[in-house]
Amino acid sequence: MKKIKWIFNMKNVYMISLIYFFLGYFYPSFFKINNIYTYLKEYLGIYEKLLWIFLAGYGFSMFMKNPNKRVVLKTRLIFLIILGVATGYLYLLNNLKELNEVSMEKIQEFVIQVGLLNINLGYIELYTFLKILPKVRVDIFTGGLIFLIFISLVVICGKMIRKSILSIINFFRRIINHVKEQRRLKAEKIRMEKQAKLEKDIYDEICNIQKIYQEKDILEEEKDLIIETTTNEILEDEIFEPLLEETEVEEFEEKIEEEIDNSNEISDEKAERKEERNDISIQIS
């Protein structure tokens, strides 16, 4: 029973069928004998490759344990098909701009030529395009296709786009932060230079003030020394002046005494001369 359940398990049946499908391209199989691959190529054209990607991706999603990731992968596979079909429609619309004829027959012939000969879009793509084109305005149809392509790209490459956008944002953020850091460093450097200059000016000012005070102290010391010297000289003069006066008085007194003595001596000599003269006159008489 377990083997039967394993064989008829949905995952295993799908994977066995998928392997058989891909092996049919290389080896004789039911699909190859009945020209299934030829029909696929004619009706799907280049979208046959998208079918391979879809089938392989869907099989891979069956073995994913995380249900959220499984749903995301299936959604991306569906939007991959939408992206391919919308791109094919937009390619045909872009080539229709070269066509000057507006008749439906000419448009059909041109679409078949471009869609099958230039690029094999397949019968299904061309048939649906020719059915939709007459019923929708070209500008609305083009806008809708561009919107579908944009949405499909966002869904398929959402994570990659988000990482790319975040990388771009982080890149510009790093540049902005680098510029801000450079500006901050420059401002800090200017501030430090100004602060250093201010400190130097303050230091020079303090040195000048100290020098002025030192000179002032020296001048005051010199002034005090001069005053002290002058005071000492004055005091010495005041002390020695009386002594000088006393000496002068004594010398004056001595001079007076000497003069008196001299005058006395002179008067004595005169007196003696007189007496001698008197004696001589007495003798003569």
Is a pLDDT exceeding 60 seen at residue 240? no
Is a pLDDT exceeding 70 seen at residue 141? yes
The larger pLDDT score, comparing residue 121 to residue 270, is at 121
* DSSP per-residue string spanning the chain: -HHHHHHT-HHHHHHHHHHHHHHTTTS--HHHHTTHHHHHHHHHTTHHHHHHHHHHHHHHHHT-S-HHHHHHHHHHHHHHHHHHHHHHHHHHHHHHTT-----HHHHHHHHHIIIIIIS---HHHHHHHHHHGGGS-HHHHHHHHHHHHHHHHHHHTHHHHHHHHHHHHHHHHHHHHHHHHHHHHHHHHHHHHHHHHHHHHHHHHHHHHHHHHHHHHHHHHHHHHHHHHHHHHHHHHHHHHHHHHHHHHHHHHHHHHHHHHHHHHHHHHHHHHHHHHHHHHHHH-
The pLDDT value given to residue 2: 55
What is the pTM for the complete model shown?
A: 0.56
The pLDDT value given to residue 203: 83
The larger pLDDT score, comparing residue 215 to residue 282, is at 215
Where residue 131 falls among pLDDT bands split at 50, 70, 90? confident
The larger pLDDT score, comparing residue 49 to residue 10, is at 49
The larger pLDDT score, comparing residue 7 to residue 118, is at 118
For 143-201, the pLDDT digits (tens) are 999 999 999 888 888 777 778 888 888 888 889 988 888 888 888 888 888 888 888 88
Is a pLDDT exceeding 60 seen at residue 277? no
Q: What is the mean pLDDT of the chain?
A: 77
For 37-75, the pLDDT digits (tens) are 888 888 888 888 888 888 888 888 888 888 888 888 888
Kindly state the average pLDDT of the residues 78-93.
Answer: 89
The pLDDT value given to residue 244: 44
- Of all residues in the chain, the percent with pLDDT exceeding 70 is 75
Is a pLDDT exceeding 50 seen at residue 243? no
